[in-house]
Amino acid sequence: MYVTRTSQVDPKNPERLVTIETVCNACPEIEFSSDKLAKIGFPNGNKEEYSWSIKSGKIRFRMLNGNSSNRKLDNEYNIKITDKKSYLEMEMEVIEDESYTYILRK
């Protein structure tokens, strides 16, 4: 896991620079199965099971049992799947109080 930092002009205030931090290699590993179960492994070694469903360009995860170490995953995401020739990329984005995106590759 590592962090990259970039600076850019604040679109709401062009006189101000903002720093954007991106945590890389911190996304969970998700193993999808055809029976609508997802086994999710987190960078800290924790594993959880969720049910999943896709409808109208959105994917929804619901935790099956227990308490999640990352409640953000028990949510609905806009998804975009792109064939990058040597791998598939799925971008999952949620917008709440704070926007965040997971980019998964296979």
Q: List pLDDT tens digits, range 43-100.
A: 778 888 889 999 888 888 888 876 655 566 778 888 888 998 888 888 888 866 566 7
- Please tell me the least confidently modeled range out of 7-21, 27-41, 45-59: 7-21
Number of domains observed in the structure of the chain: 1
Instruction: Tell me the two tokens of residue 89.
Output: 């990329």
Instruction: Examine residue 58 and state whether it is found in any structural domain, yes or no.
Output: yes
Q: Would you state the pLDDT for residue 1?
A: 47
Whether residue 5 is contained in a domain is answered as no
Any domain includes 14? no
Separation of alpha carbons 41 and 29, rounded Å = 5
- pTM of model > 0.75: no
Asked if residue 72 is part of any domain, the answer here is: yes
Domain that holds residue 98: 27-105
Question: Would 38 be classed as within a structural domain?
Answer: yes
Whose tokens are 């099971």? That residue is 49
Residue 13 inside a domain? The answer is no
Answer whether residue 3 shows pLDDT above 60. Answer: no
Per the domain annotation, does 10 fall within a domain? no
Residue 61 lies in a domain: yes
Rounded Cα distance between 7 and 26, Å, is: 21
